Amino acid sequence: MAPRFIARQLSHPSGYIGVAIRHLMNRHNARMNAFAIRQLHLEPSDRVLEIGFGGGVILPALLNAAAFVAGVDRSSDVIEWAQRHFAKAIKAGRAEFRQGNVESLPFEKAAFDKVCTVNTVYFWTSLDAGFAEIHRVLKPGGRVVVGFLPKERMERMGMPADIFTTRAPRDIIEALTKAGFCDARVERPEPKTPWNVIVAAR
Ligand SMILES: C[S@@+](CC[C@H](N)C(=O)[O-])C[C@H]1O[C@@H](n2cnc3c(N)ncnc32)[C@H](O)[C@@H]1O
């Protein structure tokens, strides 16, 4: 399959191919997502939001560790799948999934204690608008975790630049700081780990 077709599916999974892409993402991104979730330092009373959850690889762990889990994704297929798959948790009032964009989050201000987003910043139109929205929906003292692959790795993958915008840790830290977050820093399980997981406080 052409990189352009794959890139489109990664940025917005849809249809039968989207189902396969979501399985692949879950497999390939599992370790990075598992590390990101640890950086959230979840408490049993937390309300947590995941933005761009795709195949939903960490949703079960979020549901195990937190009081309430919301997921937002711009793909309607992804939302429909989550609404079916987590119907019990939704019925119990412990989960909610809404279609939406990071730049205009469909939630009230100060609705969450923690926000997590992994492998989505390449697709945001504006880091400033996205982080301003995350700042709005987080409670004061809340925490945001942002995971993504480094520029060099993305460039080697040859993803089309009009679909994937590569990001450097500095870009994310600057945008977080501009939005009002503090203590933004990169966390890695080991110094050589290739991913960037950035943690900041509201
Ligand atoms: C590459 S997948 C990553 C999925 C998952 N977080 C992971 O790491 O495996 C990107 C997901 O983010 C969603 N997405 C991309 N841009 C978005 C945006 N601006 N707002 C909300 N969701 C977005 C896509 O629809 C897709 O489901």
Give the position, in ligand 1's atom list, of the atom nearest the Cα of 124.
19
What residues line ligand 1, using a CB cutoff of 6 Å? Answer: 10-13, 25, 29, 33, 51-55, 57, 72-75, 78, 101-102, 118-120, 123-124
User: Tokens for 27?
Assistant: 């497999």
Whole-number pLDDT of residue 3: 77
Residue 155 — very low, low, confident or very high, per pLDDT cuts 50/70/90? Answer: confident
Give the position, in ligand 1's atom list, of the atom nearest the Cα of 28.
9
Domain that holds residue 184: 3-201
Whole-number pLDDT of residue 159: 83
Rg (the chain; Cα; Å): 16
Is 7's pLDDT higher than 70? Answer: yes
24-66 pLDDT, tens per residue? 999 989 999 999 999 999 999 999 999 999 999 999 999 999 9
The pLDDT of 185-193, averaged and rounded, is: 87
Is 193's pLDDT higher than 90? Answer: no
Sequence-distant (≥ 6) Cβ neighbours of residue 172 within 8 angstroms? 121, 127, 146, 148, 184, 196, 198
The pLDDT of 96-125, averaged and rounded, is: 97
Distance CA 195, CA 188 (A): 7
CA-nearest residue for atom 16, ligand 1, is 123
User: 9 or 174: which carries more pLDDT confidence?
Assistant: 174
CA-nearest residue for atom 24, ligand 1, is 12
Give the position, in ligand 1's atom list, of the atom nearest the Cα of 29.
9
Is 1's pLDDT higher than 80? Answer: no
Residue 200 — very low, low, confident or very high, per pLDDT cuts 50/70/90? Answer: very high
Question: What mean pLDDT value characterizes the chain?
Answer: 94
Burial (CB < 10 A; 0-12, 13-18, 19+), residue 141, is: exposed
Give the position, in ligand 1's atom list, of the atom nearest the Cα of 147.
8
Pocket test for ligand 1, best of 6, 8, 120, 146 (most atoms within 8 A of CB): 120
User: 191 or 197: which carries more pLDDT confidence?
Assistant: 197
The pLDDT of 111-127, averaged and rounded, is: 97
Domain count, the chain: 1
CATH number at residue 81: 3.40.50.150
Pocket test for ligand 1, best of 123, 157, 164, 167 (most atoms within 8 A of CB): 123
Residue 2 — very low, low, confident or very high, per pLDDT cuts 50/70/90? Answer: low
In Å, what is the CA distance from 115 to each residue of 6, 9, 131, 192? 27, 24, 11, 26
Q: What percent of the chain has pLDDT over 90?
A: 78
